């Protein structure tokens, strides 16, 4: 993919759709055009299992006419197809209800001058090379210990995309991204009991990936340490969420302070801006302009320039997560979050992960969460779980078939410490989180 040519072509296609929409009577219009390509190769038990290639492009056009909205899309960039999509969007707008909050974000908020965030690092990976890397990961897992009896496979994936956005304010932008990953999943067996676990590495740049052998060995170690799991008696103990699961806690926060949840009054944190939502040790920032990060973006889906901001300071909620539409519904200003947040950074409070493990004589270390028992309207939290009993700082007993129960409002305020082991494989970046006390329902 020639990135420079793709950016030019996609920007032109989006801009032409905007111009056509305006000529045909739209008061305002916006368009997003994208091109994506990728490769995914999976092996299982030492043999090639699947090869998937992706190559897609698309154009989505949205028009606003007398405060009525219509949208249409096409995968064909020919002038005839683009015109058909624009006319369909206008037709749809003629049937929709008037929405006084609809329309583009304010023109002065557009990212007319945006930085290069170093998000595109293509990997010229062929099928044979990808298969070799996947085999290395699986072989490392299967040969680590004779108790690794089976494999669900290892996968190597690489992808790149160029996306453009334009609107009738005269704004047009485009940037390229890449994402690469290696994953492995294996099954351990002892005394007829089977335990499965997995691991993966993810980065914009392939040089930021863990080696295939490291991924495979970690997947095997994680499966092995689950052998011999038993239930706990129901109790109340401190709970330690490892970084890769702790991110989900802050995902529940985002769902609750998002603009849609706020204007629909469907959140346990309704109108909570300025309130003490977390314990006073918690600081959360949004850093959308970090070079090379998974969640970085120079502008949001409305074309609004992204900018760093403080979301939580000493436990106090500083604001919401808003698009231009939800901001208007709430009588507020957009926070450049149309499409989601960009690099939510949860600041660590301790310098060592061992400090978290040794913080209490007895605690429950979560390894896996099951089910969808989270209600962000009421804050009720109930998740099936598996993990480990930690005693005097040492992992002792694997645990399964228990439930962690509580309420998010209380859980957030009981956060006691946040570790330095930051997981950067996603939009939310945080370390392990120690919660003072939760109910573990078991036998």
Kindly list the domain boundaries of the chain, sorted by start residue.
3-224, 229-443
- When pLDDT is averaged across residues 164-176 and rounded to a whole number, the result is 97
Q: 397-418, pLDDT tens digit by residue?
A: 999 999 999 999 999 999 999 9
Output the average pLDDT for the chain.
Answer: 96
Question: What is residue 346's predicted lDDT score, i.e. its pLDDT?
Answer: 98
- CB-CB contact of 237 with 438 (8 Å): yes
Angle in degrees, 0-180, between the axes of helices 212-224 and 127-142, rounded to the nearest 10: 30
Question: What is residue 1's predicted lDDT score, i.e. its pLDDT?
Answer: 65
Q: 103-125, pLDDT tens digit by residue?
A: 999 999 999 999 999 999 999 99
Fold (CATH) for 3-224: PmbA/TldD fold (3.30.2290)
Q: Would you state the torsion angle of the CA atoms of residues 133, 178, 301, 64, taken in this order, to the nearest 10 degrees?
A: -100
Q: Which of 355, 367, 373 is nearest to 416 (CA)?
A: 355
Judged on CB neighbours under 10 Å (0-12, 13-18, 19+), 170 is exposed
Residue whose structure tokens are 């926070």 = 335
- CB-CB contact of 61 with 71 (8 Å): yes
CA angle 402, 405, 409 (to 5 degrees): 155
Please give the Cα distance from 216 to 344 (Å, whole number). 28
Q: How far is CA 58 from CA 93, 171, 205, 376, 406, in A?
A: 21, 19, 25, 34, 44
Question: What is residue 23's predicted lDDT score, i.e. its pLDDT?
Answer: 97
Task: Please determine, for residue 19, whether its predicted confidence score (pLDDT) is greater than 80.
Answer: yes
Categorize the per-residue pLDDT at 443 as very low, low, confident or very high, splitting at 50, 70 and 90: confident
DSSP codes, 127-181: HHHHHHHHHHHHHHHHTS-TTEEEEEEEEEEEEEEEEEEEETTS-EEEEEEEEEE
Q: 65-100, pLDDT tens digit by residue?
A: 999 999 999 999 999 999 999 999 999 999 999 999
Q: 214-254, pLDDT tens digit by residue?
A: 999 999 999 999 999 999 999 999 999 999 999 999 999 99
Q: Which residues of 119-144 are buried (b: 16+ CB within 10 A; e: fewer)?
A: bbbbbebeeeebbebbbbbbbbbbeb
Percent of the chain with pLDDT over 90: 97
Q: 356-393, pLDDT tens digit by residue?
A: 999 999 999 999 999 888 999 999 999 999 999 999 99
Q: Which residues of 213-231 are buried (b: 16+ CB within 10 A; e: fewer)?
A: bbbbbbbbbbbbbbeebee
Question: What is residue 58's predicted lDDT score, i.e. its pLDDT?
Answer: 97
Residue whose structure tokens are 């990212």 = 111
- When pLDDT is averaged across residues 146-161 and rounded to a whole number, the result is 97
Q: 302-322, pLDDT tens digit by residue?
A: 999 999 999 999 999 999 999
Please give the Cα distance from 240 to 363 (Å, whole number). 7
């Amino acid at each position: 993919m020639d990135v420079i040519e793709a950016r030019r072509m996609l920007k032109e296609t989006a801009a032409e759709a905007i111009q056509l929409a305006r000529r045909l009577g739209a008061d305002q219009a916006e368009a997003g055009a994208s091109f994506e390509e990728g490769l995914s190769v999976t092996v299982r038990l030492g043999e090639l299992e699947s090869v998937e290639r992706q190559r897609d492009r698309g154009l989505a056009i949205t028009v606003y006419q007398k405060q009525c909205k219509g949208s249409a899309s096409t995968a064909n960039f020919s002038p005839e197809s683009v015109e058909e999509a624009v006319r369909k969007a206008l037709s749809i707008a003629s049937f929709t209800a008037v929405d006084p909050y609809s329309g583009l974000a304010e023109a002065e908020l557009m990212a007319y001058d945006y930085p290069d965030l170093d998000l595109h690092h293509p990997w010229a990976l062929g099928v044979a090379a990808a298969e070799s890397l996947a085999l290395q990961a699986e072989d490392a897992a299967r040969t680590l210990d004779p108790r690794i009896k089976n494999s669900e496979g290892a996968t190597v994936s690489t992808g790149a995309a160029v996306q453009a956005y334009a609107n009738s304010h005269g704004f047009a932008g485009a940037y390229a991204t890449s994402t690469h990953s290696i994953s492995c999943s294996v099954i351990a067996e002892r005394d007829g009991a089977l335990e499965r676990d997995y691991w993966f590495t993810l980065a914009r740049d392939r040089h930021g990936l863990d080696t295939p052998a490291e991924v495979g060995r970690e997947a095997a170690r994680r499966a092995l340490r689950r052998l011999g799991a038993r239930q706990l008696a129901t109790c109340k103990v401190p709970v330690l969420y490892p970084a890769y699961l702790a991110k989900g806690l802050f995902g529940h926060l985002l769902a609750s302070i998002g603009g849609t949840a706020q204007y629909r009054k469907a959140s346990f944190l309704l109108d909570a801006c300025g309130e003490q939502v977390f314990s006073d040790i918690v600081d959360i920032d949004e850093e959308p302009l970090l070079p090379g990060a998974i969640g970085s973006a120079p502008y949001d889906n409305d074309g609004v320039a992204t900018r760093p901001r403080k979301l939580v300071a000493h436990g106090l909620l500083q604001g919401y997560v808003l698009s231009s539409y939800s901001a208007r519904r709430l009588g507020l200003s957009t926070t450049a979050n149309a499409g989601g947040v960009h690099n939510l950074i949860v600041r660590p409070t301790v310098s060592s992960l061992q400090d978290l493990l040794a913080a209490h004589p007895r605690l429950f270390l979560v390894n896996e969460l099951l089910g969808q028992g989270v209600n962000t309207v009421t804050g009720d939290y109930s998740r099936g779980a598996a993990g480990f009993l930690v005693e005097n700082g040492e992992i002792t007993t694997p645990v399964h078939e228990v439930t962690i129960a509580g309420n998010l409002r209380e859980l957030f305020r009981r956060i006691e410490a946040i570790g330095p082991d930051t997981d950067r494989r996603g939009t939310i970046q945080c370390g392990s989180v120690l919660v003072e006390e939760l109910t573990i329902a078991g036998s």
